[in-house]
Amino acid sequence: MQDKPAISGNEEHSISLRSQQLISYLEDLWKRPYKPSPEILKRIIEFLTQFPESYQMLGMTKIAEYLASSMSLHFLDIMAVFQQKAENEGMSREERIQTIQGVMPELFPEMMGISKQVLIRSLDDLVTLSNITFSLYTLSQVDTAEEAQSWMYELPVLYWRQLTQERLITNIQVQWTVTNNATIMRFSGSTSC
């Protein structure tokens, strides 16, 4: 049995002083340039193309995981925008809680595990993944709680469907079990597509 997410209707939940300090520290760290620039990614790809195909696949899969992880972070941001703006836009407490709880059991774990299921076999696959990821990222920008609410349900389904259609997902099934004390991830399936 999965526990329901502990979501309070009160957007003013208290964050401990220590958590606030750690979050501020992380914010300062994240201001530094850390993500690879387009020039760095190009240099990496050019470097990888010099290796045998199996090594190219390993390196390109790491880039694919980065892209899919970026989409997962975008999904989390959509959820945060929803939480932040819903009350101000007049959404009832019950609807806010129901929305978050509606996403958590299936869509949230799907988006959080998708980067571990991406399979890249060629440079063409990496181009296809990039096109899908950047297109959906651009399309799913949100400014309101209503837009965020819609994309919380649509983005995981669309992303998964497009990646599956292009055969960029392994057959591995990722199952997340979240309890009050731990988060457990289980894998099953195979990597043959």
Q: How far is the C-alpha of 139 from the C-alpha of 124, rounded, in Å?
A: 22
The answer to whether the CB of 100 falls within 8 A of the CB of 83 is yes
Asked whether the predicted pLDDT for residue 190 surpasses 50, the reply is: no
Asked whether the predicted pLDDT for residue 183 surpasses 70, the reply is: no
Q: How far is the C-alpha of 119 from the C-alpha of 168, rounded, in Å?
A: 5
The single residue listed with the structure tokens 């992380």 is 26
What number of helices (H) and strands (E) belong to the chain? 7, 2
pLDDT, mean of residues 145-160:
97
Integer-rounded Cα Rg, in Å, for the chain is 19
- Model pLDDT for residues 98-130, shown as the tens digit of each residue: 999 999 999 999 999 999 999 999 999 999 999
Q: What is the pLDDT of residue 179?
A: 57
pLDDT band at 4 (very low <50, low <70, confident <90, very high): low
Q: How far is the C-alpha of 44 from the C-alpha of 19, rounded, in Å?
A: 36
Any residues with CB less than 8 A from the CB of 46 and at least 6 apart, and which? none
Q: What is the pLDDT of residue 184?
A: 56
- Model pLDDT for residues 34-77, shown as the tens digit of each residue: 788 899 999 999 999 999 998 999 999 999 999 999 999 999 99
> Which one, of 125, 22, 138, 145, lies nearest residue 70 by Cα?
138
Q: How far is the C-alpha of 143 from the C-alpha of 78, rounded, in Å?
A: 9
Asked whether the predicted pLDDT for residue 191 surpasses 80, the reply is: no
> Which one, of 146, 192, 148, 143, lies nearest residue 171 by Cα?
192
- CA distance from start to end of the chain: 31
- Across the chain, what does the average pLDDT equal? 86
CA angle 164, 167, 171 (to 5 degrees): 75
Helices (H), 87-106: 93-103
Two structure tokens written together for 57: 């696949």
Q: What is the pLDDT of residue 11?
A: 47
